[in-house]
Chain A
Amino acid sequence: MKRVIRPLLLLATAAVFNTGCSSIEPWVKPYERQRLSDPIMALEAHPASTKYINHVYEAREAARGAEGSGGGGCGCN
């Protein structure tokens, strides 16, 4: 089943993006991004602070990955 699914997935992805690039226009224009560029709209506004809190989570919880930063020892014994 995987042998069938994988090429189909690749093909579908390519088709969607090739079609998308030719017929779908970006619908939020640069001059409409005033609110998006407001500092309160940053997904992570403070890099050092975010890195630290992610380290706290990673040291205290088994889940890891897709959080952006971490690593090193944990001082968690």
Chain B
Amino acid sequence: MVPLSNSRRWTLAGVLATLWLALAAATQAAVLPEDRLDVLYHSFDGGGVTIDGPSILVRKDFASTVSVSANYYVDMISSASIDVEVSGASRYTEERTEYSVGVDYLRDRTLMSLSYTNSTENDFEADTYGISVSQEFFGAMTTLTMGFSQGDNVIKRRNDDNFERESRGRRYSVGISQVLTKNWMASIGIESVIDEGYLQNPYRFVRFINPANPAEYSLEEENYPDTRNSDALAIRSIYYLPYRAALRGEYRNYSDNWGVQGENFELRYIHPVGQSWVFEAKARLYDQTQADFYQDIFQFAGEKTLRARDKELSTYTTTSLGIGISYQIRSSYLSVFDKSTINLFWDFMQFDYDNFRDARESLNGDVPAGQESMYNFDANVIRFFISFWY
């Protein structure tokens, strides 16, 4: 446990408690989330990995006081990623199923929420409980939200019945959204995450120079610290342009005690056409620095006690461009619903690694180990969904 994060957490808790006591004015009640059904197909295709499946999210309120929600989500995975190839394994398939339920209770201007999520794979089981409180004040111009969640995970390894590890993650968050003008809104959110336990991927390895043949590499297991504390701060803002369209911006800054520092920028332009169509365009940039114990290749086995070659812990940049189209179906066709839309979003993502080499090149003997070109790959992400309001 890193004292700095705990200290920040208690400072945060103190400020929040003070804020809570200081709130005296409120002129308008909060509202529950909309009653809505979303039926979504999702797909990620890139880097030798295909993940797709459905997601169904339904929400219904009762007596305008309680709103319940449920989500069924599936990832169907087929993977022959670079990590799988380098480890010598062959393409594998598996499925992840996730069930979530939530309840929101509205009292005056306060919204209280509870949630539970279960995620199951053949080698990973996760249970997450969450609670949050949201309060409107200052003439409903300001909304303060605080949340806490805890996730307990059991990690297994395929073809190894004796392998079972556990980890626990806790998240503390606080956010404020603010109406700034009659055309402009912004929000700021802070979240601290504390993970403990087995935090590495049981299928990934580090590589080191083969002492018998320095042009080749050998593999050994990764070894991560058993705690990870991180802080993220995000600012989001949306502005109504002089004509009917909106511009949305986002910035997030991230750091953790593994030495990873990251930030992402996103800009979206939302443009409706007539009463039925909404078009959206998006650009997003993410970059991060490596973890302190990351290294693409080690000189010999056991060179470092803490070691990783997970490409998600290297230094790299992700660039995304996306477009989206929503069409509101005429109510005469689906009169049982207040409103129905059909939506398609496509994101093109490019991953460019600065210090993660394409080790497949030296597997073939084309170049010596440690001198391969840097790895990169592209991915297409599709979201196709139908939404119904009632």
Contact (Cβ within 8 A) B38 A46: yes
Contact (Cβ within 8 A) B240 A71: no
Least Cβ–Cβ distance between A49 and chain B, in angstroms: 5
Contact (Cβ within 8 A) A75 B94: yes
Listed from nearest, the 9 A-B pairs whose CB atoms lie closest are A26-B139, A72-B119, A65-B232, A65-B191, A17-B22, A73-B124, A63-B254, A48-B38, A66-B234
Contact (Cβ within 8 A) B179 A66: no
Q: List, in ascending order, chain A residues with CB within 8 A of B192's CB.
A: 65
Count the B residues whose beta carbon is within 8 Å of the partner chain — how many? 104
Given contacts A17-B23, A41-B238, contact A63 B260 (CB under 8 A): yes
B197 located at the interface, meaning its Cβ lies under 8 Å from any Cβ of chain A in the complex: no
Distance in angstroms between the alpha carbons of A28 and B186 in the assembled complex? 14
Supplied contacts A18-B22, A40-B278, 15 more A-B pairs, CB within 8 Å: A10-B18, A14-B22, A34-B182, A38-B246, A41-B185, A46-B38, A53-B381, A60-B349, A63-B252, A63-B288, A65-B191, A65-B192, A66-B175, A72-B124, A76-B312
Please provide the chain B residues from 119 to 139 with a CB less than 8 Å away from any CB of chain A in the complex: 119, 121, 124, 126, 128, 138-139
Contact (Cβ within 8 A) A57 B286: yes
Q: List, in ascending order, chain A residues with CB within 8 A of B381's CB.
A: 53, 56
Count the A residues whose beta carbon is within 8 Å of the partner chain — how many? 51
Closest to B153 in A: A73
Contact (Cβ within 8 A) B260 A77: no
Task: Tell which of A17, A46, A49, A65 has the most Cβ of chain B within 10 Å.
Answer: A65
B360 located at the interface, meaning its Cβ lies under 8 Å from any Cβ of chain A in the complex: no
Partner of A61, one of B25, B57, B191, B286: B286
Partner of B138, one of A13, A26, A35, A52: A26
B369 located at the interface, meaning its Cβ lies under 8 Å from any Cβ of chain A in the complex: no
Least Cβ–Cβ distance between A70 and chain B, in angstroms: 9
Partner of B182, one of A36, A47, A75: A36
Given contacts A35-B182, A41-B238, A49-B385, contact A73 B119 (CB under 8 A): yes
- The contact sample of 25 A-B pairs, CB cut-off 8 A, is A9-B11, A14-B22, A18-B22, A20-B138, A21-B25, A28-B139, A30-B139, A38-B246, A39-B278, A48-B38, A49-B345, A51-B55, A52-B42, A56-B44, A60-B318, A61-B288, A61-B312, A63-B232, A65-B231, A66-B173, A66-B190, A72-B119, A73-B124, A75-B94, A76-B201
Task: Tell which of A38, A62, A63, A71 has the most Cβ of chain B within 10 Å.
Answer: A62
Given contacts A40-B246, A41-B185, A66-B191, contact A72 B173 (CB under 8 A): no
Q: List, in ascending order, chain A residues with CB within 8 A of B358's CB.
A: none
Given contacts A26-B139, A46-B385, A72-B98, contact A53 B270 (CB under 8 A): no
B204 located at the interface, meaning its Cβ lies under 8 Å from any Cβ of chain A in the complex: yes
Distance in angstroms between the alpha carbons of A77 and B79 in the assembled complex? 7
Given contacts A48-B40, A49-B345, A56-B381, contact A63 B244 (CB under 8 A): no
